[in-house]
Structure 1
Amino acid sequence: MSHLLEKAAARGDLAALERLLDAGANLEWQHKGTGRSALLAATIAGHPAAVSLLLERGANIHQRCTALGYNALTWAAYNGDLTMARLLLEHGAELDPASPELQRTALMTAAQAGHGPMVSLLLAAGADPHRLDFQQRNAWSLAEEKAHAAVMQLLQQAGSQAPPASVEPAVLPWPEPLADEASDADPVAQVRAYTLALAAWEQRGNSLGHEALDAGFWAEPQQLIERFCTQRPRAYARASYGYPSTYSPADELLACAQLKPAQAEVLIRDPAARALCYEHRFLLKRIAGQWRIDSVKRRLAGTQKWANAIL
């Protein structure tokens, strides 16, 4: 029943909301995939009457979705929905809580989207224009990135400007390329050899086009697994390629640590020029004197949460 509440909220169906709430539907039920509650669904869909009803019945105004970590006010800011934002502020929505991973506030989201009236509303309510996100950007620099000149001017009038340049992590030199089998003796060389081989495979797929690819092409990722990785069972096989490719010859080496005599960790990062820059953490095991990649995790550079990635 509670999942029907979220659906009714997304439709703005007040009669259904009243009926379901009276029957005991859980106000704080969240969609398993998106993490949207009824309040979030009504906010995103732009139904202020439904939002008012849910708030009057006790909905948590601070609840976040799981996909982006946005609360109701941040979603209203993203949509440029002034009516919704005023309603939420009147009911006590906090101005500056940031999303857990991206560290984005409602003001940052509105600035990046170029919603000048929303930026004005949030600033007048006391939003902090100096807060920094996961990439050490503030609302002004997010607006600058999208060339929203009018929004930049509003933020400048509020005392905001370009944030200080962030300190980039030290980059280590890659080892000189080794003969094919020689990379087995060094974890960094093994990671480099694997990522270059996979990058070449993806780039070849991008250049040839899907229709020109044969069974031999699709067999290559498994051959790379057999060459560079441990042979444990894996839940997913690589069955796609894309642009930009997962790895690049311009990837940067950030760190290498031997965790145990037969276990090492190698951390690399996408080329810094990429708009979305990911870090990749490889775990390697030494088996019969040879280093083999066992698993890899990745995260957006600047965030904290690692997620499993497909080799």
Structure 2
Amino acid sequence: MTMKLLKAAERGDIAALELHLKNGDDIAYVQKSTGLNALITALNCGNEAAAQWLVEQGSPLDQVSLATGMTASAWAAFNGRTEMLQVLQQAGADLDKTGDGKGRTPYLIAVDHGAWAAVRWFWSAGVDLQRRDAQGRNAHDLLVCSGRDVPGDVLERVAGHAAAPPTGR
């Protein structure tokens, strides 16, 4: 029955999600073959209303997808969904948790994928802007290596964080 919960999240069908939970489905269910839960599925499919509803119902916020190594916050950052990042932060998600198999936090994922609105959102979110990934790269390193056309304000601010003394986190 829990696969139906994931299918409802995939469709963004809140009424079906509610029915499945009422009938005893586990909100923390993780599909073995993909490692996805309902919250990550809803975010991955762009169903923000369903994702927000799942957060309100107590979905695990920092669960890591076994297939991608990404958390819900990492998916929101990857897709530049600042509203969902705000919802996840307010619900208590760990926005500094390594968000993928490369040791990147959601902030570093946003930087690496050119999700500029999310990058800017993170600047005031209280996350560690100097974190490094598993290869020792910080946000500035990721920008320099990307070859992307980076907005001037992003490049300037990220370079400033790279040059600043460590925050001691």
TM more than 0.5: yes
**Cα deviation digits, residues 13-64 of structure 1 (max 9, x gap):** 0111011010000111112122110011011112222122212222111111
CA distance in 2, matches of 1:54, 1:98: 22
Aligned residue-pair number = 160
5+ unaligned residues in a row in structure 2: which ranges? 164-169
Could you tell me which runs of 5 or more consecutive residues in structure 1 were left unpaired when the two chains were aligned.
162-311
**How many angstroms does 1:81 deviate by?**
1.3
1:103 maps to 103
Looking at structure 2, the residues matched to 46 and 132 of structure 1 have their Cα atoms a distance apart, in angstroms, of 28
Structure 2 match to 1:155: 158
Identical positions, percent = 36
Write 1 or 2 for the structure with the bigger share of helix. Answer: 2
Could you say what secondary structure the match of 1:125 adopts?
Answer: coil
Give 2:59's aligned residue.
59
Match of 1:191 in 2: none
Other-structure match for 1:42: 42
- Residue identity in the other structure for 1:81: R
**Residues 138-197 of structure 1, C-alpha deviations (whole Å, 9 max, x = no match):** 12111211134323323124x225xxxxxxxxxxxxxxxxxxxxxxxxxxxxxxxxxxxx
Bigger relative contact order (CA 8 A; separation at least 6): 2
| 2:55 and 2:88 in contact (8 A); partners too | no
> CA–CA distance in 1 between the matches of 2:156 and 2:162?
9
Name which one, 1 or 2, has greater alpha-carbon Rg.
Answer: 1
Partner in structure 1 of residue 116 of structure 2: 116
- 1: CA distance, partners of 2:125 / 2:111: 15
Q: Please give the alpha-carbon distance, in whole angstroms, between the structure 1 residues aligned to 2:86 and 2:100.
A: 24
TM-score under structure 2 length normalisation: 0.88
Partner of residue 18, structure 1? 18
Partner of 2:134: 134
CA distance in 2, matches of 1:89, 1:110: 15
Cα deviations by residue, 1:73-108 (Å, 9 ceiling, x for unpaired): 111000111222122122122121114642110011
Preserved contact between residue 81 and residue 118 of structure 1 (Cα < 8 Å): yes
Coordinate RMSD, CA, aligned: 1.5
CA distance in 2, matches of 1:51, 1:19: 16
**2:166 alignment counterpart:** none
CA distance, structure 2, for counterparts of residue 107 and residue 71 of structure 1? 12
* 1:118 aligned counterpart, secondary structure: helix
Amino acid of the residue matched to residue 21 of structure 1? Answer: L
After alignment, is 120-129 or 106-115 more displaced? Answer: 120-129
Q: Distance in 2 between matches of 1:160 and 1:124?
A: 16
The residue type paired with residue 156 of structure 1 is: A
